[in-house]
Amino acid sequence: MSSPQIVWLRRDLRMADQPALYAAAQAGPVIPVYVFDQDRAGDHAYGGASKVWLHHSLESLGKSYGARNSRIVLRRGDAPQVLAALADETGATCIHAMRHYEPWWKEAEDELRDALGEDTKLCLYDGNYLLPPGSVTTGSGDPYKIYTPFSKAMLERLPPRDPLPEPGTIHSPDGWPESDELADWDLLPTKPDWAGGIRDFWDFGEDAAHDRLEWWTDVVAEYDEGRNLPSEDITSRLSPHLHWGEISPAQVWHKLKDKRSDGWKTYAKEVIWRDYTQNVIDQFPDYPTQSYRDYDERTLWRNPNAGHLIAQDLECWQKGMTGYPIVDAGMRQLWQTGWMHNRVRMICASFLVKHLLIDWRFGEQWYWDCLVDADYGNNGVNWQWISGTGVDSNMFVRIMAPLTQSEKFDAAAYIREYVPELADLDDACIHDPPDDRRGDYPVKMIGHKEARERALEAYRSSKD
């Protein structure tokens, strides 16, 4: 019998269109392994909401392997060392893995290559993005920094390749290596169990991702009109499924390819944004922690570590107690469900960095901890885009007006759902309730006009 093949699972928790699994299954008996390596990513170790999703996703994938008379081996520790030891233990001749572009995973891939004995090789595959990050370049071969030209160049090269099926047979090894119990990893919160809202809002795993995609095929035509309306359910909500690799973007693309509406065209550009952010972190690995413009950041930002009033401002934002209903609805949706509507993600992020003048990295970290789709590239690139501190074309002086946005995008029902203190207010005043209609709900932390002037002044000083 041929020698065992290890499949190293990371954010690729699916059976179909999983090139690493597909290749391994053709080469010999398969040992799928997930290594929980919490220390490797430093500031970007799994956040609380990510751990909840990871637990349920592994549980679901474990059942899929179980139905194929296989299983996932769970191990904890430094991924390259654990995998190299497992290859020795099992006599595996190849570790198959999907390529990941976060800097700590690229480093781990290099370390693993060095740690493997000469009888074992590492085979890497692309497939978590429409096209391999780094492969879409300008005429002179340089990677793109700005979204619009990147997107145009990508559209010329799409569609992505056809998705692969699940492997026909998955042979088991003669003996299974020992595995941890998933429950022992303590990924789920218990004291207290704050994850009830996440469980209510989501179904986890590959089947759930495909169910949602099936639903989305009927709704995508409305995306152009509806995607900015937080009160409506007119976005795909596939982001955590895509992030954890429960579904591939190629599967999404090919499923929708006959739905050539304006909604689909706009939707395709959003999925391309996901490829774009990987292209950015592939070029600038520290992008989610490092500003790329020449502001004097000591003058620009108010630092929550430097004064308790600024720390209190940060806390009001985190808890959804700013006095701006649309901002508070968004921050509470995030806390309860692990997700926030894109329009509101922008409004809340802009509020932190422009209205409160708090360094975007504090917001990036909060979203990182709370989002079930927390993604190094998507989160970091979008925060820099909102802050106007990145390599893209957006400017700091573009300041979103939360109250106008709330009215324009008809957020009344959304506010009623997530800010129940205001549920009795009518549409005319719910976006900006007069002080005598607020009850226990807080007054605004700062007026919009005052905040705008303060932000512009800080910006001017930071450029002096």
Q: Which residues contribute to the annotated binding site?
A: 223, 235-239, 267, 373-375
32 backbone dihedrals φ, ψ, rounded to 5°: -75, 135
DSSP-assigned states of every residue in 390-430:
SSSS--TT----HHHHHHHTT-HHHHHHH-GGGTTS-HHHH
Considering only 279-287, 297-305, 319-327, 343-351, which stretch makes contact with ligand FAD by CB under 6 A? 343-351
Whether the bond into 19 is cis, omega within 30 of 0 = no
Considering the complex, state which of residue 57 and residue 239 has its C-beta at the smaller distance from ligand FAD: 239
Backbone phi and psi for residue 42, each to the nearest 5 degrees, phi listed first: 55, -125
- Calpha distance 294→210 (Å, rounded): 44
Q: Judged by CB under 6 A, which stretch of 56-64, 103-111, 324-332, 381-389 contacts ligand FAD?
A: 381-389
Strand ranges, E, within 260-409: none
How far, in Å, are 42, 291, 296, 328, 366 from residue 303 at the CA level? 21, 15, 13, 21, 15
Please report whether residue 349 would count as binding ligand FAD according to CB under 6 A. Answer: yes
- Length in residues, the chain: 464
- The reply on whether position 228 binds ligand FAD by CB under 6 A is no
Instruction: Tell me the one-letter amino acid at 457.
Output: E
Binding span for ligand FAD by CB under 6 A among 102-110, 235-243, 305-313, 431-439: 235-243
Numbered residues of the known binding site for FAD: 223, 235-239, 267, 373-375
Q: What's the CA gap between 262 and 272, in Å, rounded?
A: 16
Which conformational region is residue 315 in: left (phi greater than 0), alpha (psi within -120 to 50 degrees), or beta? alpha
342 binds ligand FAD (CB under 6 A): yes
**Residue 97 vs residues 5, 85, 236: alpha-carbon distances, Å:** 11, 16, 28
> Smallest gap, in angstroms, from Cβ of residue 171 to ligand FAD?
34
* Region binding ligand FAD by CB under 6 A among candidate stretches 32-40, 44-52, 379-387, 418-426: 379-387
The angle formed by the CA atoms of residues 124, 125 and 126, to the nearest 5 degrees, is 135
Please report whether residue 431 would count as binding ligand FAD according to CB under 6 A: no
Q: Of 236-265, which residues contact ligand FAD (CB under 6 A)? A: 236-239, 242-243
270: contact with ligand FAD by CB under 6 A:
yes
Per-residue contact flags (x/-) with ligand FAD for residues 6 to 25, judged by CB under 6 A: --------------------
Q: Does 375 bind ligand FAD (CB under 6 A)?
A: yes
Residues 6+ apart with CB under 8 A from 135: none
Min dist. Cβ of residue 9 to ligand FAD (A):
19
Rounded CA-CA distance 339/42 in Å is 23
Cα–Cα distance list, 351 to 339, 383, 409 (Å)? 18, 12, 17
- Using the contact rule CB under 6 A, the part of the chain among 83-91, 112-120, 328-336, 338-346 near ligand FAD is 338-346
3-state secondary structure of 33: strand
Please tell me the distance from the alpha carbon of residue 22 to that of residue 449, in angstroms, as a whole number. Answer: 57
Q: State yes or no: residue 102 binds ligand FAD (CB under 6 A).
A: no
Q: Does 50 bind ligand FAD (CB under 6 A)?
A: no
> Structure tokens of 440?
């226990």
CB of 341 to ligand FAD, least distance (A): 6
CB of 275 to ligand FAD, least distance (A): 8
Does 345 bind ligand FAD (CB under 6 A)? Our answer is: yes
Question: Which residue matches tokens 């605004």?
Answer: 444
Interface segment toward ligand FAD; rule CB under 6 A; list 194-202, 207-215, 310-318, 370-378: 370-378
- Least separation in angstroms between residue 269's CB and ligand FAD is 9
Residues at the interface with ligand FAD (CB under 6 A): 227, 235-239, 242-243, 270-271, 273-274, 277, 342, 345-346, 349, 367, 371, 373-375, 378-379, 382-383, 386
